[in-house]
Amino acid sequence: MVYSGPMGNHHEQPTPPASTVTEAEWDYTTRAVQSAISRGLGQSIGLPVHTAAAFQFGNLEEAQAEFAQGGGLSYARMQNPTVRMLEERLSSLEGAAHTLALASGQAATFTALMSVCRAGDHIVSASTLFGGSAGLLQNVLPLMSIETTFTDGSPEAMKAALRPNTRVLWAEMISNPSGDVADVAALAEVAHGAGALLAIDNTVGGAGYLARPLEHGADMSVQSLTKWAGGHGSAMGGSVSVGSSDLSRNLIFTEGEERSLLNLHGGAALAQRQRWLGASQLGMTLAPHSAFLLGQGLETVGVRLDRECATAQALAEWLSRHERVSAVSYCGLPEHPSYERAQRYLPRGKGAILTFDVPDPSRFLSRLQLLRIAPNLGDTRTLVVHPWTTTHGRVPEASRRAAGVGPQTIRMTVGLEDLADLQADIEQAL
Ligand SMILES: Cc1ncc(COP(=O)(O)O)c(C=O)c1O
**Any domain includes 25:** no
**Any domain includes 1:** no
pLDDT band for position 3 (50/70/90)? very low
Give Cα separations from 94 to 100, 322, 342 (angstroms): 12, 37, 18
Q: How many angstroms does the Cα of residue 227 sit away from the middle of ligand 1?
A: 8
**Any domain includes 177:** yes
Separation of alpha carbons 304 and 380, rounded Å: 8
pLDDT for position 259: 47
The residue type of 197 is: L
pLDDT > 50? residue 10: no
pLDDT > 50? residue 138: yes
pLDDT for position 268: 82
- Kindly state the average pLDDT of the residues 248-253: 60
If DSSP codes are grouped into helix, strand and coil, which group holds residue 326? Answer: strand
Ligand 1 atom closest to the Cα of residue 129 is 1
Q: Which of 125, 203, 225, 385 to mutate to test the pocket of ligand 1 (most atoms within 8 A of CB)?
A: 203
pLDDT for position 249: 57
Asked if residue 315 and residue 171 are part of one domain, the reply reads: no
- Which residue has the least CA distance to atom 15 on ligand 1? 130
Pocket (CB within 6 angstroms of ligand 1): 104-106, 130, 132-133, 172, 176, 201, 203, 224, 226, 236, 238, 377
Q: Is the dihedral of CA 253, 153, 413, 334 positive or negative?
A: negative
pLDDT for position 400: 84
Ligand 1 atom closest to the Cα of residue 172 is 1
Q: Which of 106, 125, 355 to mutate to test the pocket of ligand 1 (most atoms within 8 A of CB)?
A: 106
Q: Which of 226, 232, 353 to mutate to test the pocket of ligand 1 (most atoms within 8 A of CB)?
A: 226
The pLDDT tens digits for 163-209 are 999 999 999 999 999 999 999 999 999 999 998 999 999 999 999 99
pLDDT for position 202: 98
Backbone angles phi, psi at 398, to 5 degrees: -60, -40
Q: Shortest CA distance to 361 belongs to which of 323, 324, 314?
A: 324
Q: Which of 263, 282, 298 is the last residue of a domain?
A: 298
**Number of structural domains the chain divides into:** 2
Asked if residue 187 and residue 72 are part of one domain, the reply reads: yes
pLDDT > 70? residue 17: no
Asked if residue 306 and residue 293 are part of one domain, the reply reads: no
Ligand 1 atom closest to the Cα of residue 237 is 10
**Any domain includes 46:** no
**Any domain includes 256:** yes
pLDDT for position 254: 59
Asked if residue 315 and residue 292 are part of one domain, the reply reads: no
If DSSP codes are grouped into helix, strand and coil, which group holds residue 181? Answer: strand
**Any domain includes 161:** yes
Asked if residue 410 and residue 374 are part of one domain, the reply reads: yes
pLDDT for position 148: 98
Q: How many angstroms does the Cα of residue 132 sit away from the middle of ligand 1?
A: 7
Q: How many angstroms does the Cα of residue 171 sit away from the middle of ligand 1?
A: 13
Q: What is the pTM of this model?
A: 0.92
Is the model more confident about 224 or about 272?
Answer: 224
Peptide bond before residue 14 is cis, with ω within 30 degrees of 0: no
The residue type of 258 is: E
Rg of the chain over all Cα atoms, to the nearest angstrom: 22
Asked if residue 315 and residue 290 are part of one domain, the reply reads: no
**Any domain includes 40:** no
- Which residue has the least CA distance to atom 8 on ligand 1? 105
pLDDT > 70? residue 257: no
The pLDDT tens digits for 336-347 are 999 999 999 999
Stretch (H or E) spanning 169: strand 166-172
Q: How many residues are recorded in the chain?
A: 430
Asked if residue 101 and residue 196 are part of one domain, the reply reads: yes
pLDDT for position 333: 98
- Which residue has the least CA distance to atom 9 on ligand 1? 105
Asked if residue 257 and residue 336 are part of one domain, the reply reads: no
pLDDT for position 256: 58
Domain coverage including residue 237: 60-298
Q: Are 267 and 242 in contact (CB under 8 A)?
A: yes
**Any domain includes 12:** no
Q: Which of 243, 271, 298 is the last residue of a domain?
A: 298
Is the model more confident about 319 or about 132?
Answer: 319
- Kindly state the average pLDDT of the residues 251-279: 71
Q: Which of 180, 227, 240, 411 to mutate to test the pocket of ligand 1 (most atoms within 8 A of CB)?
A: 227
Separation of alpha carbons 262 and 70, rounded Å: 12
Report the CATH number at residue 255: 3.40.640.10
The pLDDT tens digits for 29-86 are 999 999 998 889 999 998 999 999 999 999 999 999 998 887 889 999 999 999 999 9
Asked if residue 178 and residue 98 are part of one domain, the reply reads: yes
pLDDT band for position 300 (50/70/90)? very high
Q: How many angstroms does the Cα of residue 129 sit away from the middle of ligand 1?
A: 10
If DSSP codes are grouped into helix, strand and coil, which group holds residue 174? Answer: strand
Ligand 1 atom closest to the Cα of residue 227 is 10
pLDDT > 90? residue 282: yes
Asked if residue 372 and residue 291 are part of one domain, the reply reads: no
Separation of alpha carbons 182 and 204, rounded Å: 12
pLDDT band for position 262 (50/70/90)? very low
Asked if residue 336 and residue 286 are part of one domain, the reply reads: no
Q: How many angstroms does the Cα of residue 301 sit away from the middle of ligand 1?
A: 17
If DSSP codes are grouped into helix, strand and coil, which group holds residue 61? Answer: helix
Q: Which of 267, 298, 329 is the last residue of a domain?
A: 298
Q: What are the residue ranges of helices labelled H in 205-338?
A: 255-261, 266-274, 288-298, 301-320
What's CA 229's distance to the chain center, in Å?
8
Q: HEC string of 10-59?
A: CCCCCCCCCCCCCHHHCCHHHHHHHCCCCCCCCCCCCCCCCCCCECCCCC
- Which residue has the least CA distance to atom 10 on ligand 1? 105
Is the model more confident about 11 or about 78?
Answer: 78
pLDDT for position 264: 60
Report the CATH number at residue 391: 3.90.1150.10
Asked if residue 377 and residue 400 are part of one domain, the reply reads: yes
If DSSP codes are grouped into helix, strand and coil, which group holds residue 166? Answer: strand
- Which residue has the least CA distance to atom 12 on ligand 1? 224
Ligand 1 atom closest to the Cα of residue 203 is 1
Compute the C-alpha angle 15/79/28, nearest 5°. 50
Over pLDDT 90: what percentage of the chain? 77
